[in-house]
Amino acid sequence: MTAMLRKELYVVGKQTRMMLVCVASFFLVPHFCFMGIIYLLAFSAGLTYSAAYDERRWDRFAAMLPVSPWKIVGSKYLFYMAAVCGTGAVAAVSGWVQTKLLGGPDTTAAAAMAAALAIGINAVFLPTLYRLGAARFQAILSIALAGAALLAIGGLITGSDIIGIYSGLFIDASRRELLLAAALAAAGNIPSFYLSVRFYANRRYGIYN
């Protein structure tokens, strides 16, 4: 498992560092209401990049190695969780600087909620990705993100309370809501992991080809 985590780090290390800088910058901006979305976007992009990369080259080689699909998929989940936690910590520090030094709103809850959502979304993303393959997954993800962006822009133009809803979800989240979101996200990853292993093994074995 350590070897697979190491390989993840080598492959997406640069992207992860860029993402950390990106998240830290956005959480420094006072009243930047879409920071959670930026956070999720950055993660989705990293995840799909890594998976597409693996599908193109590494998986073929990995099938020849004494490494089980459990370890390969497990390392993906672990790496993602570690990245979410690391980014959450960066966002929290950045948010603290923004609140204390720049006088903006407290973004701790937003950072925690974004991290919980990222973990929750991962529970859906990874099995979907392993089942459909990186190319189809990327296409679906692009459509979904474009839809979300249109919805947000449309809401802003038409004057609907999208910022209010968004603030309620992220910035104004209570401790109870945060704990619930984190628990749900973590629980969702358990069945997700088993499904992903099954899908990955089937895909590698040529069952979906």
Partner 1 sequence: MDNNVVEIKGLRKHYGGFELGSLDLELPAGCVLGLVGENGAGKSTTIRLIMDAVSRDAGQITVLGVDNQSPEFPAIKEDIGVVLDETCVPEVITARQLGKVMAGIYKNWDQAVYEGWLDKFQLPRNKKFKDYSRGMTMKLGIAAALSHHAKLLLLDEATSGLDPMVRDELLDVFADFAVEDGHAVLLSSHIVSDLEKICDYIAFLHKGKLALYEEKDALLDRYGILKCTKEQARNIPSEAVHSMRLGAYGAEALVERDCMPGDLLVERATLEDIILYLSKEDGQ
- Which spans of this chain sit near partner 1 (rule: CB under 8 A)? 2-4, 6-7, 10-11, 14, 53, 57-61, 63-68, 204-207, 209
Closest contact distance (angstroms) between CB of 25 and partner 1 is 24
Closest contact distance (angstroms) between CB of 2 and partner 1 is 5
The H or E element containing residue 118 is helix 108-132
DSSP 46-58: HHHHHHHHIIIII
Q: Which is nearer to partner 1, 95 or 204 (CB)?
A: 204
DSSP 127-169: HHHHHH-HHHHHHHHHHHHHHHHHHHHHHHHHT-THHHHHHHH
DSSP 8-state symbol, 104: -
In the block, which residue shows the tokens 């930047």? 32
Size of the chain in residues: 209
Q: Which is nearer to partner 1, 34 or 58 (CB)?
A: 58
Closest contact distance (angstroms) between CB of 67 and partner 1 is 6
Q: Which is nearer to partner 1, 55 or 84 (CB)?
A: 55
Residues 6+ apart with CB under 8 A from 126: 47, 51, 73, 76, 77, 80, 192, 193, 196
Q: Which is nearer to partner 1, 13 or 154 (CB)?
A: 13
Q: Which is nearer to partner 1, 67 or 178 (CB)?
A: 67
DSSP 185-208: HHHHHHHHHHHHHHHHHHHHTTS-
Q: Which is nearer to partner 1, 71 or 122 (CB)?
A: 71
Closest contact distance (angstroms) between CB of 66 and partner 1 is 4
Q: Which two tokens stand for residue 34?
A: 């879409």
Closest contact distance (angstroms) between CB of 77 and partner 1 is 17
Closest contact distance (angstroms) between CB of 31 and partner 1 is 37
